[in-house]
A and B are shown apart, each in its own frame.
Chain A
Amino acid sequence: MVKKQQKFILFYINDEKFAMPLLGDSQFISCDKVAILPDVDNRITGLIYHGGNIITVLNTAKFLDIKYNLPDEHNCLLFSFSKDFYGLIVDQGGETIKVNQVFTDRNKKQFKKYIKINKQKVYILETDKIMEDLKIYD
């Protein structure tokens, strides 16, 4: 039986490598001028305009619960979810890879799934999970 290959986009934040499943409209952009929104979840950094779309910029470190100083100039990994565009703040974009197997780390409370690249664990930020945690439409 041939295993189905899964595609992930790699990115780096705080010198750690993470992966996000390859979705439609995924791309890396530069998101410098973020418009700050009042009275929003602290995981939402603000809004940017790109390619005719309003993009909600998300603070990736807050989701990952890691200490991170937001730089002045940062990049975003865009993805679309329910016809809306979101951007995860990343330090640096990475390659798009194909993997045959996804693992689960049962010791972790969230973002348990990971892939292995050169025998290193690279945890996956699942967009469904992010949107579920964020409850943006509640």
Chain B
Amino acid sequence: MKVVETKIYLKFISWFILVSLLPLAILFILIYIFSPQVNLLEDQEVVRAVLIAVFASLAFVFILSLIATRRLSRLITEPIQEAVLDLSKVVENLSKSIENLSDISENNSEISEFLISSSKQQQLGLKSGSVAVAGMVKSLNQIVGKTQSSAKHASDIDKLASQSESKSKLALDSLVSVKNLVTENQKLSQALDAYTKKVKNIAERVAVLADTAKFLSLNASIRANQSSSGDSFAGIVSQIRELNATSEQAAASIQSLVGDMQRQIEQVKESSQSEWEETNKSIKVVSQTIKFLSKIAGGIGIISQSINDINKSTEKTHQESDNIKTMIGNLNKESKSLVKQTDDIAQIIFKQLVVNKSLNKSSTSLNRATSTLNNLVGKQ
């Protein structure tokens, strides 16, 4: 017999003994109360008979109780054993479920930690993104300001280029007029050169005349000395000498004048030639400048348009960056709420862990109870 069953038996037996002894005790008490003069203990025979009867009854009760308890225990312990078996299975399933739950809780805990760290990193990233977007917005604002000022400058340059183009055209016209004047001057100097050549020719003739007069004077002097009437020649020789001197002076003056004229004309020619060349060069330079200015004006127009496009694009980008900023703000809020929700989840997981622990405890208690029941029903 098992110890548990024995205990149950002993309990039943003791109850049966009590139940069997209790009427005897009550009988003796009633006898003592209602018939105090009757002393049952004085008679040895009675005492012996009572004791035998008591012992016999006790033995009978004991046997009966044993039989009863055996039958009762069979009747009671079988469903209990089945229930305990079921309960054991349930406890095992519960333990497994608790273990799974514990694993899940651990996973949840890891996930929640990961979520917390991720959300913190996300928050940090969002903060840095927000700072970066703020910087971008600031830079874009600066770019907008600079492009606007550049557009203004380009517009001013465009105006200046247009003005300079018109002024260059005026300068070109003036230079063309100067060129025409220089050409006229050249023609004039050429005409003067021709006149000078003519005057030079005349001067040469005058020089020849002077030479002739000189020879005439010398030869007249010779003839005067050869002839016997030399004194009568003296007046003529003197006049011829005067003529010679005058013609020499005239020739010298004319030659000097021609020389001066020629020099001046040469200078004028050279200067007009250099002026003409310089004017031509200036015209070329101004023409090239006008072309360059036209190109610059065209380029500046394109640049201005590009700057305007850049400005528009920058403004759009600015708006988009504002939208990004707003989105980042919203994301930040969502991240904060996510962090809050993650905190809530962590708390829930913590509570789950607490529940797990209590479940574990309950499971342990249940195991204990099951084992107690097993003990009670006589199974281990």
Q: A-side interface residues toward B, CB under 8 Å? A: 7, 9, 22, 24, 26-30, 75, 93-96, 98
Contact = CB atoms under 8 A, between A and B. Distances in A.
A93 B224 contact: no
B222 A27 contact: yes
A9 B222 CA distance: 7
Nearest to B224: A96
Interface of A is mostly: strand
Contact of A30 (B215, B222, B224, B225): B215
A7 B228 CA distance: 13
A125 B115 CA distance: 141
A-B pairs with lowest CB-CB distance, top 8: A93-B218, A27-B219, A96-B225, A96-B221, A28-B218, A28-B215, A7-B225, A96-B222
A93 B215 contact: yes
A96 B224 CA distance: 9
B226 interface: yes
24 contacts: A7-B225, A7-B226, A9-B222, A22-B222, A22-B225, A22-B226, A24-B226, A26-B222, A27-B215, A27-B218, A27-B222, A28-B215, A28-B219, A29-B215, A30-B211, A75-B215, A93-B214, A93-B218, A94-B218, A95-B218, A96-B218, A96-B221, A96-B222, A96-B224
Interface of B is mostly: helix
A21 B240 CA distance: 23
Interface in B191-235: 211, 214-215, 218-219, 221-222, 224-226
Contacts of B219: 27-28
A98 B222 contact: no
Among the interface residues B211, B222, B226, which one has the most CB atoms of the partner chain A within 10 A?
A: B222
B346 to A, nearest CB: 127
Contacts of B214: 93
B229 to A, nearest CB: 15
Given A22-B226, A30-B211, A93-B214, 9 more contacts: A7-B225, A22-B222, A26-B222, A27-B215, A27-B219, A29-B215, A93-B215, A96-B221, A96-B222
Among the interface residues A9, A29, A94, which one has the most CB atoms of the partner chain B within 10 A?
A: A9
Contacts of B211: 30
A30 B211 CA distance: 9
Contacts of A96: 218, 221-222, 224-225
Among the interface residues A7, A75, A95, which one has the most CB atoms of the partner chain B within 10 A?
A: A95
A23 to B, nearest CB: 9
A3 to B, nearest CB: 17
Nearest to B215: A28
Nearest to A27: B219
Contacts of A30: 211, 215
A38 to B, nearest CB: 30
A41 to B, nearest CB: 27
Among the interface residues A9, A27, A29, which one has the most CB atoms of the partner chain B within 10 A?
A: A27
B127 to A, nearest CB: 107
Contacts of A75: 215
